[in-house]
């Protein structure tokens, strides 16, 4: 493990812990942006450039902004009075430890895991593009269809229901 990876990992985990422990939701969202950036940095250290940049583009540039906007449009600025530690936190810890153990066990015993570190495969953007356009064309198309449907749905929700009952006081 390189020192750079350790630093990035510590920053990422600390930021993730901050997301859970802060009271102010906007601060949480900003801390989450740091977490996303940390994950992107880890991808870059694994020389997975495309994934790393896509992580920044999608998560920092879009998802974080979306979360922040959702908070801003739905809640007032005051942070809640209650502590972040609610009554059920003991049970929560037990559940999370169990889930982590199960996941770790599954990962360590999975058949596909190489026992020794192998040379990283040369993954260029071209490879990813060819894979998306060749082998994985059907999933890509389905994702595109789902997203288009979601967008049309959003447009329909945002549309005015009846232009005649426009209450802006202006006659069209």
**Taking the complex as a whole, how short is the minimal distance between the CB of residue 127 and another protein, in angstroms?**
10
**Taking the complex as a whole, how short is the minimal distance between the CB of residue 137 and another protein, in angstroms?**
17
By CB under 8 A, residue 61 contacts another protein: yes
CA distance 29 to 60: 10
Closer CB to another protein, 47 or 101, in the complex: 47
7-41 residues labelled b (16+ CB within 10 A) or e (exposed): ebbeebeebbebbeebeebeebbbbbbbbbbbbbb
Max Cα separation, the chain? 73
In sign, the C-alpha dihedral spanning 69, 71, 73, 79 is: negative
Binding mask 25-44 for another protein (x = CB under 8 A): -xx--x--x---x-------
Q: What is the residue-wise DSSP string for 51-78? A: HHHHHIIIIIIIIHHHHHHHHHHHS-SP
Binds another protein (CB under 8 A): choice among 124, 130, 139, 149: 124
**Taking the complex as a whole, how short is the minimal distance between the CB of residue 115 and another protein, in angstroms?**
30
Return the structure tokens found at 10. 């510590």
* Contact region with another protein (CB under 8 A), list: 118-126, 134-142, 146-154, 162-170: 118-126
By CB under 8 A, residue 49 contacts another protein: yes
Return the structure tokens found at 22. 């802060």
**Footprint of another protein (CB under 8 A):** 24, 26-27, 30, 33, 37, 49-50, 53-54, 56-57, 60-62, 64-65, 68-69, 72, 77, 124-126
């Amino acid at each position: 493990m390189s020192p750079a990876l350790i630093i990035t990992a510590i920053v990422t985990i600390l930021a993730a812990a901050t997301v859970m422990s802060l009271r102010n939701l906007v601060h949480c969202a900003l801390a989450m942006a740091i977490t996303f950036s940390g994950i992107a940095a880890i991808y870059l250290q694994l020389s997975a450039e495309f994934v790393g940049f896509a992580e920044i583009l999608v998560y920092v540039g879009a998802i974080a902004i979306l979360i922040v906007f959702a908070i801003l449009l739905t809640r007032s600025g005051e942070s809640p009075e209650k502590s972040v530690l609610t009554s059920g936190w003991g049970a929560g810890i037990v559940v999370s430890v169990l889930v982590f153990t199960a996941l770790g066990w599954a990962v360590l015993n999975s058949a596909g895991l190489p026992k020794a570190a192998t040379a990283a495969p040369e993954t260029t953007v071209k490879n990813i593009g060819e894979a998306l356009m060749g082998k994985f064309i059907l999933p890509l198309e389905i994702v595109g269809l789902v997203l288009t449907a979601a967008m049309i749905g959003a447009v329909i929700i945002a549309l005015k229901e009846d232009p005649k009952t426009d209450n802006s006081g202006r006659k069209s």
